[in-house]
Structure 1
Amino acid sequence: MATSEVRTATSVQRDGSGQNPARKQDNGAGCLKCGDHCPGLDLHEWRNCCTQCKCRREDHDVYSRDVTTLFQKLQISQDTPVARGYAWVPPGISSLEKKCYKCEGTIPEGSIAVTTSHTGSDVCCHPGCFCCSTCQVLLVDLLYFYHDSSIYCGRHYGESLHPRCYGCDELIFAGEYTKDMSKQQWHATHFNCFSCNCSLTGHRYVNRDTNAYCLKCYEKLFAFPCEGCGKKIGTDVKDLSFNNKHWCEKCFNCSKCGKSLVDQQFTQKNDKIYCAQCHKELFLGKCDACGEHFSPGDKKMEYQGKCFMEKCFTCKECTKPMGTKSFIAKDDSVICQICYEDKYAKKCAICGKVISMGGITYKDKPYHKECFVCTHCKKQLSGERFTSKDDKPYCINCYGDLFAKKCAKCGKPITGLGGTKFISFEGQNWHSQCFNCVGCGTSLVGKGFTNEGGRILCPDCTNAEAAVKAR
């Protein structure tokens, strides 16, 4: 919101009609902003805007009609070599190479150059460089103006002498004019409200979309209703907005405690606004360890249906926060992996390291699978048959070779595994399947027998051999 100021300029009398006939030729041009919503440019009687869509004249297609290019003016086709390098030199141009006074580039011999009566024939430029120093519009074969060693089109030459009214887009020759807060100049009679057309000179106003409005029209057209009291938020009241909702300063309060939220942190929930404390108490819940309310942005750790603050979700042993580290549950508590391995995890009886998965228990001692091996040959015993000697494990082969009795018949070790039966007599041992009569081969298990020089015989074979010896 601002108040205008009045400036004085040289007074030049305007014509009697007050209308610029050149403005009428643009009527009907399509709007580049509104498209089909605007039926065509219909200039206001003095404003430089359309009465149909309210867009400015330059927002309409007023420059694309009847535009003549340099090539068309010279009647040269743009597709010919002549357009890329001119084949003739106008009379009066020297055949010597010269420099363009604007770009300082060389003008080759035989090329077109432009000279003016103001600068003299010795000063020339490329045709493409002969343009308005303000808007860069090409001025070849057009009316130009020379002022302070610069070339201007008619529009900007006029602006170098007189201010231009932002309302009607014409030069201001009147004795007084107005300058608004955006530094735009206006005829004193044109600085009016864009809606009701009342004069704004010396009055408070509001700029919106490059247009000025009196306070009454601005509040009627653009002021938002307050979400609290429902009244329009006037220009003298601070408009506080969030998520396309607006409040006046006295209504911008917490929905629970009524505390003013101006310049305070707040949160919107279910179309209502709350101060940070009320939002925590109503929606964020409490930590099941310390009982404090969570704050926005706090990390919430959930475990077994309970919620914990990051600082409260700690290891039972070392009391350090778990964060995102791995942990093990034990007796309704959590223990970090390091503490659990140090105090609770099983350790291998051989290497002393933690058994994290799998493992073997033998005689109430835990072992890694790869550590539980035969005492003699170091073969892994996991999934294999084995026995022990002096509380040390041995595979079947090593035990038989090292400690088992040998069968007197087959010479193989008698391990006794799996309920194997054997016979022992006078320091000799036999597998039950090997304890047979050497004469007839009859099994002697549970029967009478004789030992003849280490030869085991059944009673019948003994008698037969005795009869042979008696003859």
Structure 2
Amino acid sequence: MSAVESTTDMDIFKRLEEEKAPQLIFSGEYTKAMDQNFHKDHLACHHCDKKLVACRYILKEEQPYCIPCYQEQFAHNCEECKKAIGPDYKDLSYKDRHWHEFCFKCCECGKSLVDQAFAPKNDQIYCSDCHDNKFAARCDGCGEPFRGGDEKLGTEGMKKFEYKGKQWHEDCFCCMICKDPIRNKSFIPRDNEVVCVPCYEDQFAQKCSKCSGVINKGGVAYKNMPWHRECFVCTNCNKELAKEKFTSREDKPYCAECYGQLFAKKCCRCEQPISGFGGTKFISFEDRHWHSDCFVCHKCEQSMVGKGFLLNDGHVVCPDCGRQ
């Protein structure tokens, strides 16, 4: 037969206490917290067992903690003053770093950064103005920094123009002549400066000797003078001379045909101009002129170049024909 085990009320309460099981509350004195009822002696700090009746406490992971234990176990230390950020203060955080609300300020000017734009640098935090003044790149024109924008204020950062290792604010990147900002216009470098296209064309560009217009491309030069290809033409017939044989008279260009017709000597035999183009040889005698190929005996037509000749009624004849 099995022995019968007897259990007293004290044994039951002892077992319930050991198992942390809910206990009946017979007393009229109890306290209510966390939507539960507690014996007054049982509402205690989860860490130090300090009684919490009529005391402030904080829940962490559904467990109550007295204020000192909560600060010791869970509160962050302020980056500025190194003190714990207790429950009575706002905890401002940025990238796992924490500050009291009144400690979150610019390390340079001391301005509060609560609800303000800020920038970290070398483990310090700066307001936008101090950060830009201390670290931002500066304009090679005015020397002022390039300031960033502020999303909260809806402002954009400054535009930066870069050229040949230098940088400018949008309004500082200007033409060296008219001083107007270049912005999105074309420009031309000049003596380590920049010049807008209209100013460059007016001040520095080559201009056609005929029409005085700017030569942008396809120009030709003659006697150290620039011309548009379409402007460099024969003075007489207006034929373009860029790819033609030509010469000049009184500093005016002429094509070979017009020059020959207007100014060249005429051959006494064929009456065509003796232009001299292409190495053409000619013979002259007493203000009369012949092409080398035309300097022949008037009767037998043998060449008289380098030979003795006679004039017969104004015609060149060889000695044999002259004796006939």
On whether the aligned pair clears a TM of 0.5, the verdict is yes
Q: Name the structure 2 match of 1:436.
A: 296
- Please tell me whether residue 235 in structure 1 is matched to residue 87 in structure 2: yes
Q: CA deviation at 1:345?
A: 1.9
CA distance in 2, matches of 1:426, 1:461: 21
Distance 1:327 1:208, change over 3 A: farther
CA distance in 1, matches of 2:44, 2:294: 127
- Alignment equivalent of 2:36, drawn from 187, 204, 211: 187
- Please tell me whether residue 265 in structure 1 is matched to residue 114 in structure 2: no
**Are the counterparts in 1 of residues 136 and 147 from structure 2 also a CA contact under 8 Å?**
yes
- Please tell me whether residue 337 in structure 1 is matched to residue 189 in structure 2: no
SS of the residue aligned with 2:130?
A: helix
**Are the counterparts in 1 of residues 234 and 255 from structure 2 also a CA contact under 8 Å?**
yes
SS of the residue aligned with 1:273?
A: strand
Q: Name the structure 1 match of 2:259.
A: 399
Which amino acid in 2 is paired with 1:441? Q
- Alignment equivalent of 1:317, drawn from 142, 152, 177: 177
Which amino acid in 1 is paired with 2:303? T
SS of the residue aligned with 1:394?
A: strand
Q: CA deviation at 1:212?
A: 7.1
- Alignment equivalent of 1:301, drawn from 157, 161, 164: 161
**Are the counterparts in 1 of residues 205 and 214 from structure 2 also a CA contact under 8 Å?**
yes
Larger relative contact order, structure 1 or 2 (CA cutoff 8 Å, min sep 6)? 1
**Are the counterparts in 2 of residues 440 and 461 from structure 1 also a CA contact under 8 Å?**
no
- Alignment equivalent of 2:188, drawn from 328, 336, 355: 328
Which amino acid in 2 is paired with 1:394? Y
- Please tell me whether residue 380 in structure 1 is matched to residue 240 in structure 2: yes
Structure 1: stretches of 5+ with no match in the other structure: 1-43, 47-175, 181-185
Between 1:407-416 and 1:233-242, the stretch displaced more is 407-416
Which amino acid in 1 is paired with 2:266? K
SS of the residue aligned with 2:226?
A: strand
Deviations 1:389-412 (A, max 9, x none): 454322223333444333334554
Structure 2: stretches of 5+ with no match in the other structure: 1-19, 23-30, 149-156
> 1:147-226 residue pairs with structure 2 within 5 A?
186-189=35-38, 204=56, 214=65, 215=67, 219=71, 222-226=74-78
Which amino acid in 1 is paired with 2:179? T
Which amino acid in 1 is paired with 2:178? C
Q: CA deviation at 1:273?
A: 1.5
Q: Name the structure 2 match of 1:354.
A: 214
Q: CA deviation at 1:189?
A: 4.4
TM-score (norm 2): 0.69
Distance 1:426 1:237, change over 3 A: same
Distance 1:207 1:405, change over 3 A: farther
Q: CA deviation at 1:377?
A: 4.4
CA distance in 2, matches of 1:327, 1:207: 68
Between 1:257-266 and 1:233-242, the stretch displaced more is 257-266
CA distance in 2, matches of 1:276, 1:216: 37
Deviations 1:427-467 (A, max 9, x none): 6421234323353623424x5422224532233442xxx2x
Which amino acid in 1 is paired with 2:176? K
CA distance in 1, matches of 2:69, 2:274: 116
Deviations 1:14-41 (A, max 9, x none): xxxxxxxxxxxxxxxxxxxxxxxxxxxx
CA distance in 2, matches of 1:349, 1:225: 81
Aligned-residue CA RMSD in angstroms? 4.0
SS of the residue aligned with 1:278?
A: helix
- Please tell me whether residue 415 in structure 1 is matched to residue 267 in structure 2: no
Distance 1:203 1:324, change over 3 A: farther
Which amino acid in 2 is paired with 1:270? N
**Are the counterparts in 1 of residues 293 and 303 from structure 2 also a CA contact under 8 Å?**
no
CA distance in 2, matches of 1:287, 1:217: 54
SS of the residue aligned with 2:199?
A: helix
> 1:53-92 residue pairs with structure 2 within 5 A?
none
CA distance in 2, matches of 1:336, 1:404: 49
**Are the counterparts in 1 of residues 45 and 52 from structure 2 also a CA contact under 8 Å?**
no
CA distance in 2, matches of 1:360, 1:319: 33
Deviations 1:41-64 (A, max 9, x none): xxx978xxxxxxxxxxxxxxxxxx
CA distance in 1, matches of 2:122, 2:314: 104
SS of the residue aligned with 2:294?
A: coil
Which amino acid in 2 is paired with 1:261? L
CA distance in 2, matches of 1:406, 1:206: 122
**Are the counterparts in 2 of residues 193 and 200 from structure 1 also a CA contact under 8 Å?**
yes
Q: CA deviation at 1:387?
A: 1.5
Which amino acid in 1 is paired with 2:135? F
CA distance in 1, matches of 2:52, 2:69: 12
Distance 1:423 1:199, change over 3 A: farther
CA distance in 1, matches of 2:203, 2:158: 32
Deviations 1:205-242 (A, max 9, x none): 66778x57545565456533333344432222222222
